[in-house]
């Protein structure tokens, strides 16, 4: 195994471990807050918002940090801080000294560190894989994270049931410790800041972002697609499930979406579309079938089939998007450019949840689902009509050819 492949393997395992713990944390935290607040949904909302708001607020600054400082070190520092805060939160619950303000404080710190380090992740894989191997590396990363999310969610429920929420958070802290230790084995080149100050780096990042027409157009499209999808999955779907096919079937549908996303990682690893953004956008419209299955039929097989296809299409687009960014955007600016994508994606979540809650109080859920399907297609069609998106070619195949001729 050469050094790059060994480094990639270490990185993927480290991310799998930290993601596994991270997936247990929301379950443990939620039940921990409910336990100390006599089941208060308001208290739970406060603690969750305490992490979400600073996470969004610090993403763009995190992009600058990820390009200006060694990315692995940024991730390690953030992981160490999160290890401490999750360990403290777990200890507070285990010693019956937890309060809503104290848990909210730990989550504010977690939100800040998450926002500051997330863009750094976007720039690590290009330092560990050649351009011709980026699609496979991104597929492996997406697959390992997907399996960790599924396993962590199940494990979180088991931990809370068996030993309590406090131990769930302690487990998350332990996974951060292991991940940080593993990443210390990685030796990556130190970035060379091209600008004399952080502010100048920020401005240069914006120039890089708007310089690629397909990048900012698809980031804008992603914002709208996330608004639509979050509204459907978080609000409209549960409502229509209660009215028709039931909660158990809704759980199976979400599992089918997850299974589809895992299938897509294998599909993306072994297919090389000449126009990956065009292909990914077209495949993403499979989510429309899922929306229509919810709104027009109560057939469980149809719903689960469309959910599976929707998961495949959405993840396939995501992998193609990540690979396109990594092959076209200079590595020195990748964290800053990615931070705008992350900012739009995360900002869409609370906006969509608020909008969907308002809309469902005014309009029946089935017309809303049909409207979401139409809007999704419209966003994709508008994106495809832009020449910068339509004509964007795959760079990994060209890199593979160059490697073969070298």
In this structure, are residues 193 and 333 in contact, taking their beta carbons and an 8 Å threshold?
no
Nearest 5°: the CA angle 8, 13, 18 is 125
Tell me which residue of 73, 177, 178 sits closest to 121, measured CA to CA.
73
Question: Confidence band (pLDDT; 50, 70, 90) for 401?
Answer: very low
pLDDT digits (tens, 9 = 90+) for 228-286: 998 888 888 888 888 888 878 888 888 899 899 999 999 988 888 889 999 999 999 99
The CATH architecture of the domain made up of 205-405 is Up-down Bundle (1.20)
Residues 6+ apart with CB under 8 A from 168: 24, 25, 27, 28, 29, 32, 90, 156, 159, 160
pLDDT digits (tens, 9 = 90+) for 69-101: 889 999 999 999 999 999 999 999 999 999 999
Q: What pLDDT, on the 0 to 100 scale, is given for residue 214? A: 87
Question: Following DSSP, what letter does each residue of 170-188 receive, concatenated?
Answer: HHHHHHHHHHHHHHTT---
Q: Please provide the CATH number assigned to the domain covering 3-186.
A: 1.20.1250.20
- What residues does each domain of the chain span? 3-186, 205-405
Global pTM reads 0.84
Q: What pLDDT, on the 0 to 100 scale, is given for residue 193? A: 61
CB atoms under 10 Å from CB of 255, counted, come to 15
Q: What average pLDDT score do residues 30-45 get? A: 84
Question: Confidence band (pLDDT; 50, 70, 90) for 403?
Answer: very low
Topology alike, domains 3-186 and 205-405 = yes
Name the average pLDDT for the chain. 87
What burial class does residue 167 get, using C-beta atoms within 10 Å of its C-beta: 0-12 exposed, 13-18 middle, 19+ buried? middle
């Amino acid at each position: 195994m050469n050094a790059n492949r060994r480094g990639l393997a270490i990185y993927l395992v480290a991310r799998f471990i930290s993601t596994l713990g991270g997936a247990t944390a929301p379950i443990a935290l939620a039940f921990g807050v409910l336990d100390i607040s006599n089941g208060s949904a308001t208290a739970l909302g406060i603690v969750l918002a305490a992490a979400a708001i600073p996470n969004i607020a610090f993403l763009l600054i995190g992009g600058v940090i990820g390009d200006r400082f060694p990315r692995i070190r940024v991730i390690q520092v953030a992981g160490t801080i999160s290890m401490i805060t999750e360990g403290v939160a777990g200890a507070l619950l285990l010693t019956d000294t937890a309060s809503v303000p104290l848990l909210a404080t730990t989550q504010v710190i977690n939100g800040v560190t998450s926002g500051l380090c997330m863009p750094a992740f976007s720039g690590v894989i290009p330092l560990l894989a050649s351009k011709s191997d980026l699609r496979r590396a991104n597929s492996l990363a997406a697959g390992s994270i997907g399996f960790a999310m599924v396993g962590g969610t199940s494990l979180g429920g088991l931990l809370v049931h068996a030993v309590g929420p406090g131990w769930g958070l302690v487990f998350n802290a332990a996974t951060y410790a292991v991940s940080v230790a593993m990443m210390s084995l990685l030796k990556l080149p130190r970035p060379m800041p091209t600008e004399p100050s952080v502010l100048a780096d920020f401005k240069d990042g914006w120039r890089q972002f708007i310089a690629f027409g397909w990048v900012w157009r698809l980031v804008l499209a992603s914002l709208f697609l996330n608004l639509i999808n979050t509204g459907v999955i978080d609000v409209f779907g549960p409502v229509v499930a209660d009215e028709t096919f039931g909660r158990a079937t809704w759980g199976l549908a979400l599992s089918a979406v997850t299974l589809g996303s895992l299938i897509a990682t294998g599909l993306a690893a072994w297919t090389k579309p000449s126009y990956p953004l065009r292909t990914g956008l077209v495949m993403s419209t499979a989510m429309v079938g899922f929306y229509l299955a919810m709104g027009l039929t109560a057939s469980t097989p149809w719903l689960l089939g469309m959910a599976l296809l929707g998961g495949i299409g959405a993840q396939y687009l995501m992998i193609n998007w990540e690979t396109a960014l990594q092959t076209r955007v200079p590595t020195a600016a990748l964290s800053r450019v990615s931070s705008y994508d992350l900012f739009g994606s995360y900002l869409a979540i609370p906006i969509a949840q608020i909008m969907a809650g308002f809309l469902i109080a005014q309009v029946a859920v089935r017309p809303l689902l049909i409207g979401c399907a139409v809007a999704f297609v419209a966003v994709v069609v508008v994106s495809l009509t832009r020449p910068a998106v339509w004509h964007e070619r795959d760079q990994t195949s060209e890199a593979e050819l160059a490697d073969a001729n070298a």
